[in-house]
Amino acid sequence: MLDIKFLRENSEVVKENIKKKFQDEKLPLVDEVIALDKEYREIKTSLDTLRSERNKKSQSIGMLMREKKTQEANEVKEEVNKINEEIALSESREPELEEKIKKIMMVIPNIIDESVPIGKDDTENVEIEKFGENVVPDYEIPYHADILERMNGLDKEASGRTSGNGFYYLMGDAARLHEAMIAYARDYMINAGFTYCIPPFMIHSDVVTGVMSFKEMENMMYKIEGEDLYLIGTSEHSMIGKFKDQIVKEDTLPITLTSYSPCFRKEVGAHGIEERGIYRVHQFEKQEMVVLCKPEDSMNWYNKMWELSVNYFRSLDIPVRTLECCSGDLADLKVKSCDVEAWSPRQKKYFEVGSCSTLGDAQARRLGIRTKGENGTYYVHTLNNTVVASPRGLIALIENNYQKDGTIKIPKVLQPYMGGKEKIELK
């Protein structure tokens, strides 16, 4: 959410930013919120004047009564009553305007970084850099669901009976490999200096609207019926929410956290849930990283964070690339974002396995997360990034480590988490 003062003083910049995001339907909102803000500030000024005038007149009533000027006192009382009526009318309008302004400000997109490429949607995202050789072997790599079934590691028929489409059972070595990736990601991030956390897996609605846009919320979040609780779509939601309405000590910045959680997503949209495989599902597990820092440090942390994800996947012998998200593909709160994509030797293309974003002070402003320094109190900047989300990470792992003899090579860094196993035999 933007600072209303910034919008008021830079309305053309805000409008140009909306155009860059191809959200022209939101352009009238800028002038609308400016008009509402003007009325709101005028009412506040008027209320201050009216209250001051009421206090002076109220004090004069006592003096007039002591001087036995009863008629004059009664006339002043009438004037005070009229002022009270005006105050009551303005006081009822004040919260109404405040709510309207907040509602509009919540949907006006954040100002994107000047380095973000301009494009309408994800088809116009821009490749930044490749890491590792994207090899296509001289033997066929089966579809990931077929590989997992040959491991006796995937049962979607049973999950269909218990839960419906978009869920799955992982079993045996497949389940173990999935957990090995998560456990290794945890230790990898701890060794990088991040503090490990396990957060709540449900959050209140005011936290949800603090960390994401309404469109994301509608397409992603599952609500608990009859309660003000939502299942998290990623641990970023509860990790940022941890600091809601807090003033963190400036000398504790940056706060660097890595968190494990299951994630739950409706996955509403054009992509759809995968029938056979486990690429797009309603439930998965994830190791996340979250940073709270000073504004001047946020871009440095952004670069450090996506590099950590790249190096994680390279340590698993998985080639990856980074893809800069264009303006039209950025969620409304994001300043800048890039996807980390893993190579699929079966499909001969890259697919998304993680995303790194800096959101400026948008989340902090919505949630009231501030710090206090020499120059006063200010909002922190927040960033988030995927270390690994499985089963997508699992798909990348088994495809890139599938051998000609039908075995799956286990990368050295995962072998300690797999009881020393070096490969998995397929049945």
Number of domains in the chain: 2
Q: Vertex 175, ends 240 and 423: CA angle to 5°? A: 120
Give yes or no: residues 197 and 260 share one domain.
yes
- The pLDDT, as a whole number, for residue 58 is 83
pLDDT digits (tens, 9 = 90+) for 68-97: 788 888 877 888 888 888 888 888 889 899
Rounded Cα distance between 93 and 86, Å, is: 11
Do 79 and 146 belong to one domain? no
Chosen domain end from 42, 76, 105: 105
Same domain, 128 and 48: no
How confident is the model at residue 68, as a pLDDT?
78
Strands 247-249 and 222-223, sheet pairing = unpaired
199 prior amide bond cis, ω within 30: no
Q: What is the CATH number of the domain that holds 50?
A: 1.10.287.40
pLDDT at 271: 64
Residues 89 and 170 in one domain: no
In a shared domain, residues 209 and 240:
yes
Name beta bridge partners: 247: 370
Contacts of residue 16, defined as CB under 8 A and 6 or more positions apart, other chains included, come to: none
Q: 245 with 150, same domain?
A: yes
The closest alpha carbon to 396, from 320, 308, 289, belongs to: 320
Number of helices and strands in the chain (H, E): 13, 18
In 3D, which of 137, 173, 185 has the Cα closest to residue 344? 137
Same domain, yes or no: 176 and 48: no
Task: Tell which residue, 360, 368, 377, 363, has the closest CA to residue 298.
Answer: 360
Helix or strand run (H / E) with residue 37: helix 27-66
User: Where is 379: in which H helix or E strand?
Assistant: strand 376-379
Task: Spell out a b/e string for 187-200, using b for 16 or more CB atoms within 10 Å of the CB, else e.
Answer: ebbeebebeebebb
CATH number of the structural domain spanning residue 414? 3.30.930.10
Residue 115 is assigned to a structural domain of this protein = no
Residue 265 in any domain: the answer is yes
Say whether both 380 and 340 belong to one domain: yes
Q: Give the C-alpha separation, 312 to 320, whole Å.
A: 10
* Residue range of the domain that includes 38: 4-105
Instruction: Determine the Cα–Cα distance for residues 290 and 245; give it in Å rounded to an integer.
Output: 18
pLDDT at 14: 98
pLDDT of 149? 94
**Per-residue pLDDT of the chain in tens (427 residues, 90 and over written 9):** 899 999 999 999 999 999 999 999 999 999 999 999 999 999 999 898 888 888 888 888 877 888 878 888 887 788 888 888 888 888 888 989 999 999 999 999 999 999 999 999 999 999 999 999 999 999 999 999 999 999 999 999 999 999 999 999 999 999 999 999 999 999 999 999 999 999 999 999 999 999 998 778 888 899 999 999 999 999 999 999 999 999 999 999 999 999 999 999 998 665 667 778 999 999 999 999 999 999 999 999 999 999 999 999 999 999 999 999 999 999 999 999 999 999 999 999 999 999 999 999 999 999 999 999 888 999 999 999 999 999 999 999 999 999 999 999 999 999 999 999 999 998 7
pTM of the entire structure? 0.90
Domain co-membership, 58 together with 133: no
Same domain, 234 and 188: yes
Residue 99 and residue 71 share a domain: yes
Nearest-CA neighbor of 26 among 103, 125, 127, 131? 103
H-helix segments, 106-213: 144-150, 156-162, 172-191, 205-211
In this structure, are 128 and 197 located in the same domain? Answer: yes
